[in-house]
């Protein structure tokens, strides 16, 4: 039994997650294996394809469907309260249009965790997913359900939303689980620091029944920036390896097309590289 398991920590970031998808494709191409993966939001979405060994799947379906209003659109948000079409993204796409390899995922020796936020407590939830069949895919959906852009997901007695609210880059949590040798794939450059949320007043109104969640949202920038500082400390000490973009592209936010779909965000950052000692 390996006392120091190797873990892969995947930050979220919406369409910036395509950067992560590219990194994971290189890992698969080079047959780089880890003992466990923990993903947040988009990191969870792309991480499950990595565990299933489906190289290029994430980039392929994003390029094919990113302009489809069923995939992601403000029209969908206005009509259903969901920016991303739930049936299209979590059923039609993985079951028919670009099938997810459930058999390979379940047979993998790599453990797969998703990070969600418990709306009633404001605390993170780390879920080990042994399968993504049936309603278990909703753990990934919950992890990627952005506040104000998705409905609360109820699973196993919990009310859940985007994992990035409570733990944006769960490297500390993963190390406590025994994954001491962690590779972190970040979606922001080293210089980035998060600013206070300008929509706190709206969040307080919409989630007035969940004060702990609102407070977690209000202080998220403080939590996130502390995480960045600690990740840099661990990186400098040689405790973890971090792969991050060197810069963001000028296009860092989605825009709409005439049919109401969301244009893909481009990302031109470069990955770093490193090697474990020992």
162 among known catalytic residues: yes
Structure token pair of residue 165: 């609210």
Structure token pair of residue 90: 């979590």
Catalytic residue among 25, 111, 162, 167: 162
Domains located in the chain, CATH noted: 6-193+227-243 (3.40.1090.10)
Of the two residues 245 and 255, the one the predictor is more confident about is 245
Q: State how far the Cα of 256 lies from the Cα of 116, in Å rounded to an integer.
A: 28
Percent of the chain topping pLDDT 90: 82
Mean pLDDT score of the chain:
89
Provide the whole-model pTM. 0.88
Place of tokens 């394809």: 49
**How does pLDDT run across 77-126, given as a tens digit for each residue?**
988 889 999 999 999 999 999 999 999 999 999 999 999 999 999 999 99
Which letter, b or e, does each residue of 103-137 get, where b requires 16 or more Cβ atoms within 10 Å of its Cβ? eebeebebbbbbbbbbbeebebbbbebeebeeeeb
| Contact assessment for residue 66 and residue 264, using Cβ atoms and an 8 Å cutoff | yes
35 among known catalytic residues: no
Res. 267: pLDDT tops 50: no
Q: Which residues contact residue 238 at a Cβ distance below 8 angstroms, ignoring those fewer than 6 apart? A: 277
Residue 223 sits at φ, ψ, to 5 deg, of -60, -45
In the predicted model, what is the mean pLDDT of residues 262-268?
32
Catalytic residue among 25, 41, 76, 111: 41
Res. 151: pLDDT tops 90: yes
pLDDT attached to residue 4: 84
Res. 228: pLDDT tops 80: yes
- Split at pLDDT 50, 70, 90, the class of 2 is low
Res. 274: pLDDT tops 60: no
């Amino acid at each position: 039994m390996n006392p120091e398991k190797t873990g892969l920590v995947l930050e979220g970031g919406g369409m910036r997650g395509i950067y992560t998808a590219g990194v994971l494709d290189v890992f698969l191409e080079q047959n780089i294996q880890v003992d466990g993966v923990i993903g947040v939001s988009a990191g969870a979405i792309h991480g499950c394809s990595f565990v299933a060994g489906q190289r290029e799947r994430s980039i392929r379906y994003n390029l094919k469907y990113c302009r489809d209003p069923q995939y992601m659109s403000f029209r969908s948000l206005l009509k259903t309260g969901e920016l991303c079409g739930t049936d299209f993204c979590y059923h039609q796409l993985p079951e028919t249009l670009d099938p997810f390899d459930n058999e390979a995922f379940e047979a993998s020796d790599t453990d797969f965790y998703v990070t969600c936020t418990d709306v009633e407590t404001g605390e993170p939830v780390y879920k080990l997913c042994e399968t993504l069949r049936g309603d278990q895919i909703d753990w990934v959906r919950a992890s990627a359900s952005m506040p104000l852009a998705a409905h609360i997901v109820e699973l196993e007695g919990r009310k859940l939303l985007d994992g990035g609210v409570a733990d944006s880059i769960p490297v500390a949590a993963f190390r406590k689980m025994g994954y001491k040798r962690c590779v972190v794939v970040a979606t922001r450059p080293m210089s980035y620091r998060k600013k206070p949320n300008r929509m706190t007043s709206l969040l307080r109104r919409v989630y007035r029944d969940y004060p702990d969640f609102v407070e977690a949202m209000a202080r998220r920038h403080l939590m996130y920036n502390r995480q960045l500082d600690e990740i840099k400390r661990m990186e400098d000490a040689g405790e973890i390896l971090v792969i991050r973009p060197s810069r963001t592209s000028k296009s860092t936010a989605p825009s709409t097309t005439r049919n109401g779909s969301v244009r893909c965000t481009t990302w031109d950052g470069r990955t770093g590289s490193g090697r474990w000692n020992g």
